[in-house]
Structure 1
Amino acid sequence: MRVLSDLMPDSAASFTPAQLTRDHILRALRQIDRESQPLPPSTVYDLVYKGRRYPPRPVLQLAFRLASGQSDASLPLLAGTPTNTLLERLDFTVTTKRPILANSPHDGDVAAQEAMQELYTGNGRDSAPATPAAEPAPAAAEPLVPYELPPALPYEREQALRELFISAEMLDQAQAALQRRRNLILQGPPGTGKTFLARRLAWLGLGRTDAARIELVQFHPSFSYEDFIQGFRPDAEGTFRLTPGVLLDICQRAAQEPDRPYFLLIDEINRGNVSRIFGELLLLLEADKRGPQHAVRLPYAPAETARFFVPDNLFVIGTMNTADRSLAPLDYALRRRFAFLTLQPEFGAPLQEFLASQQVPSAVISRLISRLTELNQTITDDPELGPDFQLGHSYFCQPPTDPAEAPTWLSAILTQEIAPLLEEYWLDQPTQAAAYRKKLLRP
C-alpha cells in the first residue's frame, strides 16, 4: 500500500504536470522499486532508468499524485507523445518496447532480459569484460592517387586500319551498323580483338582519342541494375543514398552536349544477368525510342524528379565471347536492339606483316601461323566445340622488342596460355588434350 503522508505536497491546489521536476519522477521510481508492485504495461514505449524499463504513463501518474499530495489525482496527459515529451524534457530516456520472453521472471529488467534472450536464441555474444573502445577505423575509400587522362589526339580511318586485323570492308560494316542501330555487339572466339576494336570504333566516332566521352564497364554475375542504372548505395558515413549508375551518369553527360557523340563500352556483356541489369533500357535503347519524348520514370526515382531517357548521341558497343559455355545466350528482346558483327581469328597477311614489322624472325612467324591454323581447324571440326572456340590472334600481338627472345616468347604463350585452354576444352578427353598439347609444343 502506498503511503503519501511521508511526502509533503509541492502545491496545495492547481498542481499541473508542467510543475513536475526530475526529483518527482525519481521519487516515484524509488517507490515502485521498493514496493515491487506490477504496473499496467505500456503498449509501445518504455521509460529506461538504471537498466530497468517502466511504463511511462503509470510512472508519471504516480509522480503527479505524490507531488500534488492527492492520492486520487488524475494525470491530465495522454499516453504517447505528451507523456514522453514531458519525461524527455526532464532528461529521462523513453524508447520503444523491446520484446519480452514469454513467462520470463525478469519483467522489465533490461540486463536480465538480454541475458535470457541470449540463452533463448543461442546468440553467442562475447561475455568477456568490456575493453575501452578503439578509435573508429577510417572510412574505406579509393587511394587518392593523382592522375590525368591521356591527351585527346586525332584518330582517323587510316590509323585504325593499320592497328586492326580486319579488312576495310568489315570496318565499314561496323561503322554503318553503329550509325544505323546506335547499338552494336562484337562477338567472336577468345582473342579476336573485340574490346580493342570497340575502343577504336569509339575513337573513330569521336574523331579523337577522347577518354572523357567514353565510359567502359565490364559485366559480371554480381553486376546489377543498381550498379548500371540507379539504386541505393551506402556512402562513407554509412547512409544509403540514391546514386546514379554508370548508364545514368553517361546519359546525363551526353544530354548536356547533344551535338557531340558519347560512347558506352560494355565488355563481356553476356557475363551478367542482362535482362535484370538493363531494366527499362530494353525499351529506351532502340534507335527510334531515344530522346525525351520517350522518357520513363525509374523505379527508384521520386515522383517529382525528371523522367529518364537515352539521348540520341549515345552509342553502345558491347563485346561477347562466344566460347564461354557457362553463360546463357542473350534473350531475343535484347538481341533485336543490337546489330551483331562476328570477328574471326586472323592469322593471315595482316598479322604476319605486323610481326615482321616488330622484327620477329620469319621462322618463328611460320611456326606460329602453321601451329595455330592447324589447331583452329581441329577445334572447328570437333562436333563438341566448333568455330566459336577457335583461338584468336590477340595472344600474339605483343612480341618482345629483342628478336632473339621471340622463340622463347612463342613457347611461353603456347605452354602457359594455349595448352591450359586446350585441357579445359577437352576436359572429358584428357588423352586427346595431351596429344594436341604435344603436337602444339613440338620443336
Structure 2
Amino acid sequence: MPTSPFDPTHLTREQVLQALRHMDREGPRMPLSTVYDLVYRSKRYAPRAVAQLAYRLALGQPEARWPLPAGAPTNRILENLSFTIATKRPTLENSPLLDGDVAAQERMQELYTGATREVVRPTKERKAPEATEVHEPQPAYEHATVTTYTREMALAELFIPEAELQAAQAALRRRRNLILQGPPGTGKTFLARRLAWLALGATDAARIELVQFHPSYSYEDFVQGFRPDAHGQFRLQNGILADFCHRAAQDPERPYFLLIDELNRGHVARIFGELLLLLEADKRGPAHAVRLPYSPAGSPPFFVPANVYVIGTMNLADRSLAPLDYALRRRFAFVRLQPEFGDPLREFLAARGVPAAVIDQLTTRLTALNQTIADDPELGPDFCIGHSYFCQPPTSPAEAAGWLRLILEQEIAPLLDDYWLDQPAKAAQHKKKLLA
C-alpha cells in the first residue's frame, strides 16, 4: 500500500471536517468504535475511521494507512483539533441490575472510576443499555464570509494617513514581526487585523489567529507543555503557536498571521521561549529548527515557517507592565499610533449623522485635554485619550449630544481621577473643563 512521510500531527481541523462531510454524503457512517466516539453536531463517528479518511484526503492517496493505533494516540490528534471524543460508559458485567432498572444501572455507571473497557455486546439473555444522546456544544460564532479587502477599504476605515499605512506594511514585510504601540483607544488591534487582511487580500479568518497575553499566560499555553485533557489526565499538548505553525507549514505559498493583543501584559520572555531565536526573519524554516524542551527524544524539531507573520499590540500607559527586553525588541519593528481627533474622525462622525456642533465640541475638548496630559511630567503622551471611545456614535443625530455627554462622564472622567489620583483638586479642575 502507498505510504507517506506526512506527519499525522500536521492534520488540520478543516481536513477532518472534510472527512466528516464526505462520510455524511456517502450515506451510512462507518461502524462506531466500541470504546470511543467522535461527537460532532449530535452525530457519532469512529475516531480512527475519521482520522484515516482525513489522512487519505490530505494525501490524495485512497489506500494510505493511518499510521497511529486506535485509542489515545488517535484521540489525542483529534482532541488537539478541538473535536470532542466521548468515552462510552463501561458496562458493569457483574451488576444484578443489567436486566432490570436501566436508570439504576446508569446511576451505578456514574460511580465507575476505573479504566475504560469495551461495551458488552447484547445477547438473547442480556440487554445492552440504551445509548445516551450526546450533543456537542454549539459554536459561539461562525466565521464571517470571506470578502475581498483592498487598500482603499482600509484607508476608508483607518484614522492614519496612507504614508503611515505603507510604512507599517513595509516594516511587516521586512521583519515579519511588528508591534503596534501607543495609548489606549488608538485602534491598535483594529489596525493589526486590517494589516493582516491587506496582506491576505481578503478577510480570511482561517489564516489569522488572535491571542491575548495576560499575567497567567505561560509557555505551556503558547508553545507546548503538559496540560489536563477532558478526562483530567495531564498529557503533552501543543500550544496555540505550535498548532498555528503546523497549519502554516502545510500551506507555504500563502501568508498566515498571528495577532498577539496586549503583548506586554504577559511575561514575554518566558512565554516566547525559543521564539527569541526562531522569530528572526533569517532564522525561519526547517534549517533552523530546534527541539522543544518538553518534546520526547526522537520528536521532530520545531521551526517557525517563513510564511508566518506576527503582529503584537502594546499599551504603554499601564505602569504595572514591564518593558520588553532588548533581545526581544530587536526581533520586531515598532509603529507608534497616536490619538486622532482631526479630519479623519470629523469626517467619520459627520458621515454617521453627528451634528457639526457636537463634533466641534468633542474634538476641541479632547485635543485640549490630551495636550494637558502630554505636558504633565508625571504622565506624558502615553496617557493621552484615544479616539476609539468615540467610534460608535448613535444612529439618531438627536441623540448625539447625550451620547457624547455620557462618554465624557462615564468613561473619560473616571480616567482623569486615576491619572491625578494624588491630586484630586487638579482632577476636578480638568473634569470641569471637559464637562462644561
TM-score relative to the length of structure 1: 0.68
Counterparts of 1:146 and 1:381 in 2: how far apart (Å)? 45
How far apart, CA to CA, are the structure 2 residues paired with 1:350 and 1:136? 64
Query: Are 1:244 and 2:257 counterparts?
Result: no
Q: Distance in 1 between matches of 2:311 and 2:183?
A: 17
| Distance of 1:298 and 1:134 partners within structure 2 | 41
Number of the residue aligned with 1:284: 278
Note the C-alpha offset of 1:192: 0.5
Measured in 2, the distance between the counterparts of 1:181 and 1:321 equals: 21
Q: CA deviation at 1:238?
A: 1.1
Q: Distance in 2 between matches of 1:406 and 1:182?
A: 42
Equivalent residue, structure 1, for 2:351: 357
Of residues 288, 291, 294, the one that matches 1:294 is: 288
1:170 aligns with 2:164: yes
C-alpha displacement of 1:143 = 3.8
Cα displacement (A) at 1:135: 4.8
The Cα shift of 1:435 comes to 1.1
Q: Deviations over 1:288-308 (max 9, x none)?
A: 000000000000011111100
Identify if the C-alpha distance between structure 1 residues 245 and 136 changes in structure 2 by more than 3 Å, giving closer, same or farther.
Answer: farther
Match of 1:329 among 310, 323, 334: 323
- Deviation for aligned residue 1:145: 3.3
Aligned residue for 1:215, secondary structure, equals: strand
Q: Partner residue of 2:208?
A: 214
Q: Is residue 415 from structure 1 mapped to residue 397 from structure 2 by the alignment?
A: no
Partner of 2:392: 398
Give the Cα separation in 2 of the matches to 1:350 and 1:343.
14
Q: Does 1:200 align with 2:200?
A: no
TM-score norm. by structure 2 comes to 0.69
* 1:189 lines up with 2:218 in the alignment: no
Q: What is the aligned residue count?
A: 309
Q: After the TM superposition, which residues 12-411 of structure 1 pair with which residues of structure 2 at under 5 Å, given as runs?
A: 135=110, 143-145=137-139, 147-411=141-405
Alignment partner of 1:434 out of 404, 414, 428: 428
1:395 Cα offset (Å):
0.5
Unaligned runs of 5+ in 1: 1-131
Letter paired with 2:220:
E
Q: Measure, in 2, the Cα distance between the counterparts of 1:228 and 1:430.
A: 42
**Equivalent position amino acid for 2:189 in 1:** T
Q: Deviations over 1:324-383 (max 9, x none)?
A: 111010110100000000000100000000100000001100000011000000001100
AA in 2 matched with 1:408: G
Task: Say which SS state the counterpart of residue 187 (structure 1) adopts.
Answer: strand
**Could you tell me which amino acid in structure 1 is paired with residue 276 of structure 2?**
L
Once residues 265 and 364 of structure 2 are traced to their aligned partners in structure 1, the CA distance between those partners, rounded to angstroms, is 32
In structure 2, relative to structure 1, the CA distance for the partners of 1:437 and 1:147 (3 Å cut) is: closer
| CA positional deviation for 1:185 | 0.1
| Structure 1 match to 2:26 | none
Deviation per CA, 1:414-437: give whole Å up to 9, x if none.
011101111111111111111111
| CA 1:332–1:288: 2 relative to 1, 3 Å | same
Residue of structure 2 in register with 1:6 after alignment:
none
User: Which one-letter code corresponds to 1:369 in the other structure?
Assistant: T
Deviation of residue 136 (structure 1)? 6.4
Once residues 433 and 142 of structure 1 are traced to their aligned partners in structure 2, the CA distance between those partners, rounded to angstroms, is: 52
User: Which amino acid in the other structure matches residue 353 of structure 1?
Assistant: E
For residues 247 and 314 of structure 1, what CA distance do their matches in structure 2 show?
Answer: 10
The residue identity in structure 2 corresponding to 1:259 is E
Describe the SS at the equivalent of 1:231: strand
Relative to 1, partners in 2 of residues 1:142 and 1:218: Cα closer, same or farther, differing over 3 Å?
Answer: farther
3-state SS in 2 of match to 1:316 = strand
- What is the one-letter code of the residue matched to 1:415? E
The Cα shift of 1:152 comes to 0.8
Name the amino acid aligned to 2:291.
R
2:151 partner letter? R
SS at match of 2:193: helix
Amino acid at match of 2:334: F
Aligned AA (1:220): H
- Once superposed, what is the RMSD of the aligned Cα atoms? 1.8
The aligned amino acid for 2:225 is: G
Separation in structure 2 between the aligned mates of residue 136 and residue 359 of structure 1, nearest angstrom: 63
Note the residue ranges of structure 2 that are not aligned, 5 or more in a row.
1-106, 113-134
In 2: Cα distance, 1:353 partner to 1:142 partner: 46
Three-state SS of the structure 1 residue aligned to 2:401 is: helix
Runs of 4+ in 1 over 2 A off after TM superposition: 132-137, 141-148
Which residue of structure 1 lines up, in the alignment, with residue 127 of structure 2? none
Shift of 1:249: 0.8
In structure 2, C-alpha distance between the alignment counterparts of 1:249 and 1:324, rounded to whole Å: 31
Cα deviation for residue 148 of structure 1 reads 2.4
Residue identity opposite 1:311 in structure 2? P
Deviation sequence 1:366-412 (CA, Å, 0-9, x none):
00001100000000110000111101110000101011110111011
Deviation for aligned residue 1:144: 3.0
